[in-house]
Amino acid sequence: MTAATENWTIATTADAARARALLARLAADAGVPTAGRARFLAALG
């Protein structure tokens, strides 16, 4: 069974900030080292 996907539209700078914060939390919870998280978030812009 395939789960339905949910697509987010990033329309504002506030949306982008929320997305970056979410990705930072997910990476931290996954045990990604601090330097790796910083590189990843910098690559997002």
- For the chain, give every domain's residue range: 13-44
Q: Quick one: 30 exposed, middle or buried, by C-beta within 10 A (0-12, 13-18, 19+)?
A: exposed
pLDDT at 30 over 90: yes
Per DSSP, the three-state class of 5 is coil
- What percent of the chain shows pLDDT beyond 90? 53
Model pTM above 0.85: no
Q: How far apart are CA 38 and CA 44, in angstroms?
A: 10
User: What is the average pLDDT across 2-7?
Assistant: 77
pLDDT at 1 over 70: no
User: What is the average pLDDT across 9-31?
Assistant: 92
Contacts of 40 (CB under 8 A, 6+ apart): 23, 27, 32
pLDDT at 41: 85
